[in-house]
Amino acid sequence: MQTPWIPFIPPSASTLSGQVDALYFYLSGVTVFFTLLIAGVLVFFVIKYRRRSPFEIPRPIAGSHKLETLWSVIPFVIAMSMFGWGAQLYFQMYRPPQNAVEVYVVGKQWMWKIQHSTGQREINELHVPVGRKIKLIMTAEDTIHDFFVPAFRMKADVLPGRYTTQWFEATTPGTYHLFCAEYCGMNHSGMIGSVIVMQPSEFDNWLSGNAAQQSPAVAGQQLFQSLGCVSCHGANGEGGRGPALVGLFGRQVFLTNGQTLTADEAYVRESIENPQAKIVSGFGPIMPTFQGQVTPEQLIQIMSFIKSLQTTTSGSAPSGAPSAAGPSPKAQVPTAATASSPANKQ
Q: What is the footprint of another protein within residues 70-89 (CB under 8 A)?
A: 71-72, 75-76, 79-80, 82-83, 85-89
The greatest distance separating any two alpha carbons of the chain, rounded to the nearest whole angstrom, comes to 96
Pick one of 150, 193, 242, 322: the residue that binds another protein (CB under 8 A): 150
**Rounded-to-integer distance, Cα 328 and Cα 271, Å:** 29
Task: For 192-333, list the strands marked E by DSSP.
Answer: 193-198, 252-254, 260-262
Binding letters toward another protein, positions 107-126, x by CB under 8 A: --x-----------------
- Distance of closest approach, residue 275 Cβ to another protein, in angstroms: 14
Query: According to CB under 8 A, which residues from 310 to 339 bind another protein?
Result: 336, 339
Pick one of 132, 133, 177, 278: the residue that binds another protein (CB under 8 A): 177
Binding letters toward another protein, positions 37-56, x by CB under 8 A: -xx-xx--xx--xxxxxxxx
CA dihedral (311, 315, 321, 322) positive or negative = positive
**Rounded-to-integer distance, Cα 187 and Cα 145, Å:** 12
**Rounded-to-integer distance, Cα 86 and Cα 90, Å:** 6
Cα-Cα end-to-end distance for the chain? 47
**Residue 153 in the binding site for another protein (CB under 8 A):** yes
- Distance of closest approach, residue 174 Cβ to another protein, in angstroms: 14
**Residue 156 in the binding site for another protein (CB under 8 A):** yes
- Distance of closest approach, residue 13 Cβ to another protein, in angstroms: 12
Query: According to CB under 8 A, which residues from 10 to 39 bind another protein?
Result: 10, 19-20, 23-24, 27, 30-31, 34-35, 38-39
**Rounded-to-integer distance, Cα 94 and Cα 87, Å:** 11
Piece of 114-122, 173-181, 198-206, 239-247 that binds another protein (CB under 8 A): 173-181
**Residue 225 in the binding site for another protein (CB under 8 A):** no
| Phi and psi angles of residue 156, each rounded to the nearest 5 degrees, phi first | -155, 140
Spatial strand order of the sheet with 164-169 comes to 121-123, 111-116, 101-108, 133-140, 164-169
**Residue 67 in the binding site for another protein (CB under 8 A):** yes
Query: According to CB under 8 A, which residues from 260 to 299 bind another protein?
Result: 274
Nearest to 158 by CA among 120, 116, 104, 220: 104
**Rounded-to-integer distance, Cα 242 and Cα 248, Å:** 13
**Rounded-to-integer distance, Cα 176 and Cα 106, Å:** 19
How many Cβ atoms sit within 10 Å of the Cβ of residue 310? 21
Pick one of 105, 114, 170, 181: the residue that binds another protein (CB under 8 A): 181
Binding-site size, another protein (CB under 8 A): 96
**Residue 235 in the binding site for another protein (CB under 8 A):** no
Piece of 99-107, 118-126, 185-193, 233-241 that binds another protein (CB under 8 A): 185-193
**Residue 66 in the binding site for another protein (CB under 8 A):** no
**Residue 91 in the binding site for another protein (CB under 8 A):** yes
| Phi and psi angles of residue 35, each rounded to the nearest 5 degrees, phi first | -65, -45
- Distance of closest approach, residue 293 Cβ to another protein, in angstroms: 14
Pick one of 126, 128, 173, 183: the residue that binds another protein (CB under 8 A): 183
Length of the chain: 346
> For helices 65-94 and 17-48, what crossing angle results, to 10°?
160
**Rounded-to-integer distance, Cα 52 and Cα 44, Å:** 15
- Distance of closest approach, residue 14 Cβ to another protein, in angstroms: 11
Pick one of 160, 173, 247, 275: the residue that binds another protein (CB under 8 A): 160
CB 217 within 8 A of CB 304: yes
**Residue 205 in the binding site for another protein (CB under 8 A):** no
Pick one of 18, 97, 185, 320: the residue that binds another protein (CB under 8 A): 185
